[in-house]
Structure 1
Amino acid sequence: MKNKIFLAALIFTVTGITGYSQTVNGVPISEIDVEYVEIVGNFRLFSNKFTITIDFGQETKLFSDREAQIRDEYGQALNFNSMVDALNFMSKNGYDFVDVYVVNNDDFTAHHYLLRKGKNLPRP
């Protein structure tokens, strides 16, 4: 009986460790099979943090950027302190910076960073 409990705990631990990943629209970042992605950052309401969405050409619902957010293994949206924080996160996941542009409107400002998948994936 103790062996079965130990084996179950070991399997749970191993699958928990190997199953850890950040996803966008249900796809692990490491498995996004495209050359370019765009990260879009908007200030969060009543916060100094950014809401970051990732566009890699995936199909999304109209007016729903929620599914394009980076999520942890529990489905919670990751929060970034700045666009540079998000850029560093993507760099660690194998993406290189290409270009940036900012869209200013009376109601909002959106930062768009174009990234390209690097040759050496992923980085430590």
Structure 2
Amino acid sequence: MKKLLFTLALTIGTIGLYAKNYVYCELVGTGKFLNNKIKVRVDYGQETSFWKGISYLKDENGKNIEFNSMVDAMNYFGKQGWEFVQAYVITNGNQNVCHWLLKKDVTGEDMDKAPESDEHKK
């Protein structure tokens, strides 16, 4: 009986060691009028404000980054270790707004740190 309890405790402890920690973000892509490019806003769960306006993904010069498609944006984030989870589209008037949920494997130490809104610059 003691061997069984020991084996069970060891198994549960081992599973806990290999548990993955993820952080999530959402890419929100909107098309531009009379243009094939899209602008992407990244939601890390950060606080937003109506008064600040929409903050789109920016390059190192502070200019909005435009992508050819949501797949182009996913390739950009995939190079930084983000993985696709799920996608859905909401149509508002004549405009489609694409929402892509991504996840990234992080260490337990990093799990305690909330991602910054400009993490994409890393």
Larger Rg: 2
Structure 1 spans left out of the alignment, 5+ residues: 1-33
Aligned sequence identity (%): 39
Contact 2:86/2:102 (8 A) holds in 1: yes
The CA distance in 2 between the partners of 1:58 and 1:117, in whole Å, is: 16
Q: What corresponds to 1:84 in structure 2? A: 71
> Residues 28-47 of structure 1: matches in 2 within 5 Å?
35-47=23-35
Q: What corresponds to 1:23 in structure 2? A: none
Q: What corresponds to 2:110 in structure 1? A: none
The CA distance in 1 between the partners of 2:92 and 2:64, in whole Å, is: 25
The CA distance in 1 between the partners of 2:45 and 2:79, in whole Å, is: 21
The CA distance in 1 between the partners of 2:93 and 2:61, in whole Å, is: 35
Contact 2:39/2:57 (8 A) holds in 1: no
Letter in 2 for 1:90: F
How far did residue 118 of structure 1 move? 3.2
Relative to structure 1, is the Cα distance of residues 119 and 60 closer, same or farther in structure 2, using a 3 angstrom cutoff?
closer
How far did residue 59 of structure 1 move? 1.6
Q: What corresponds to 2:45 in structure 1? A: 57
Task: Indicate the RMSD between aligned Cα atoms, in angstroms.
Answer: 1.9
How far did residue 119 of structure 1 move? 5.5
How far did residue 108 of structure 1 move? 1.7
Count matched residues: 85
Q: What corresponds to 1:109 in structure 2? A: 96
TM-score using structure 2 length: 0.64
